Amino acid sequence: MPPSRPGLRVTAGLLAGTALALTSLSACGPTGSGHEGSGDREAKYQRVIEAPHPRPADVIEAAGAPTGVVRAGDGSLLLTYDLGNVEDDEGPAATAWRIVGPDGRTVAEHAEHADAEAVPATFKGVHGGFVRVPPEGVFALDVRGERHKVAVTETPLRVRPGDVLLSAPEPTLVYRAATRTVAPPAGVPDDAVQVAVDERGTVWSLEQRLTDGPDRVVRQRDGRTLGSTAVPKPYAGDALAARGGTAALALTRDEGVRGLLVTTDRGEHWRTVLAGGVPWKSLKLGPELFVLEVLADGRLLVGEEGGEEGGSYWLADDSANSAFHRLRTPVAFTSLTVDGTTLYGIADATTATYDLVKGEGLWVSGDSGQKWRRYQPRGR
């Protein structure tokens, strides 16, 4: 199957929802093709992307693993799948999505043709369903799979609790589920190069100052600036994440991530984390593939995606975020994200092949990575 696209991250819904029923998960051995040879998989794969009307189940089976998973406010999941052309980055392709309810049963699914050169569709989980991320084809799906129009406006919105950051920094847009509206957030500095929005409606931004001092992390609410802090020398800032009272900025130097700037009291006090059990100098893939997420309990997840052996990830021991331990995963993950305190890992191929890799698919952990279960949705 085609490789996961470098830098494409799985993103989880920003609003906490009902925990996914673990009865929809079953511990499984490694995914494999059984008696099916590469030639058989290639033939099926080609039939799917060339079919006049691709069936969702066929696209999903051929893909082997989702490219993304997000969770709505009620605990429903939306999984996306993409099929390109293994031999060529041009030509026909197919995409599909599947919505699975909190009980693990498939609620709705859809498939359509696509262009292999097109950027795969990504979604964010929101209250009441899901919204497709700009710039192309912005629309909302409710948890039943029904499609709804989204109003896109250039008039800035004052961010309020429940608004979800869809994209940043170009363009920086938020989504308001109550009105199904996408708009730029009001008050974000013009020189902001990173933006995060927490569930309280606080907008955190990294201001890049080229001539008048160090970069600064600025926090705002309801259009008012609440405070700011300077990025410590000799570092620059990169990825930014915030949730509840915790916010964190990746500190970079010499084209690599070397630590974090962290607050656990809503920006009143900040400290640098340059050790804590994470081998920062060993992170090789650069800031563009750095993972930085905040769990609902305030713990940070950090790591890097990609590489021939999959990603590497570390989770904070507690909400102080001073010490981290490396996550043990059942197979090599190509991406990992969180929703609430649930971890979602995807195992996928990193090179173009029709064959499946060991354990290919979606894995879920509800206990901070101590145990993992392979995701197996039920029928309708």
SS (H, E, C) the chain: CCCCCCCCCCCCCCCCCCCCCHHHEECCCCCCCCCCCHHHHHHHHHHHHHCCCCCHHHHHHHHCCCCEEEECCCCCEEEEEEECCCCCCCCEEEEEEEEECCCCEEEEEEEEEEECCCCCCCEEEECCEEEECCCCCCEEEECCCCEEECEECCCCECCCCCCEEEECCCCCEEEECCCCEEECECCCCCCEEEEEECCCCCEEEEECCCCCCCCEEEEEECCEEEEEEECCCCCEEEEEEEECCEEEEEEEECCEEEEEEEECCCCCCCEEECCCCCCHHHCCCCHHHEEEEECCCCCEEEEECCCCCCCEEEEECCCCCCCEEECCCCCCCCEEEEECCEEEEEECCCCCCCCCCCCCEEEEECCCCCCCEEECCECC
Q: Is residue 355 part of a domain?
A: no
Q: pLDDT per position in the chain (380 positions), as tens?
A: 433 333 333 443 333 333 333 333 333 333 443 445 567 888 888 899 888 899 999 999 999 999 999 999 999 999 999 987 777 666 678 999 999 999 999 999 999 988 777 788 899 999 999 999 988 789 999 999 999 999 999 999 999 999 999 998 889 999 999 999 999 999 898 889 999 999 999 999 999 877 777 899 999 998 889 999 999 999 999 999 999 899 999 999 988 999 999 999 999 999 999 999 999 988 877 888 999 999 999 999 999 987 666 789 999 999 999 999 999 999 999 999 999 999 999 999 877 678 888 899 999 999 999 999 999 877 66
Number of domains forming the structure of the chain: 1
Q: Which domain holds residue 24?
A: 1-149
Query: Does 378 map to a domain?
Result: no
What's the pLDDT at 91?
67
What is the reported pLDDT for 1? 40
Whole-number pLDDT of residue 105: 94
pLDDT value, residue 169: 86
Residue 289 lies in a domain: no
Residue 220 lies in a domain: no
Domain-embedded: residue 158: no
80: in domain: yes
Residue 336 lies in a domain: no
**pLDDT number for residue 45:** 86
Whether 376 is in a domain gets the answer no
Predicted local distance difference test score (pLDDT) of residue 88: 67
